[in-house]
Amino acid sequence: GADLKERAKMHSSEVSSFVSRARATINELANLPVPTIAAIDGTALGGGLELALACDIRVAASSAKMGLVETKLAIIPGAGGTQRLPRTIGVSLAKELIFSARVVDGEEAKSIGLISHVVEQNEAGDAAYKRALALAKEFLPQGPVAMRVAKLAINQGMEVDLVTGLAIEEACYAQTIPTKDRIEGLLAFKEKRPPRYKGE
């Protein structure tokens, strides 16, 4: 999250500019055309959780601490938290967490759907990072164009009704048809070998 001691010294116009830049940066992360995974091994409060919410997948250690705690400071999450948290865990529960400024650990975060995986912390303090890396390795062999358009179809489809979402999916699928990777995938399947995708 933000450095609150630094924030206390800022003029109100500086705060608005700071939050605007943070929001823009976090939106850029959310719009990256590749899968993103947040590994939370420590504390993700306020802007830290907003950053994690902009990722496609979140993994946390059971001992991690997460929350949108801004209402304790008489402000609200300003870098996407009021929009991404309800879309992740549901409106009522998101309101409860934001209104109470409650901090949850990895186990509770998993139980409410805030994170996809919870792992016991290890001595090195990087258990979530290692789990995130293992997930990333599962994604790597897949076709790059397919990954990009699958993310696009999911992200855009979640903002519209089902009929429109299905049309988005159709348009995204169409982008994979003329690719060399699609032909390579079919050939590799036929030849019983791993595909060698090039993102073309």
The catalytic residue positions are 2, 47, 50, 70
Structure tokens at 170: 């159709």
Please give the single-letter amino acid code of residue 95: K
Please give the single-letter amino acid code of residue 55: C
Q: Around Cβ 47, how many Cβ atoms within 10 Å?
A: 24
Give the Cα separation of 180 and 25 in Å (integer): 33
Structure tokens at 129: 């990072």
Structure tokens at 11: 């003029």
Check: CB of residue 46 under 8 Å from CB of residue 1.
Answer: yes
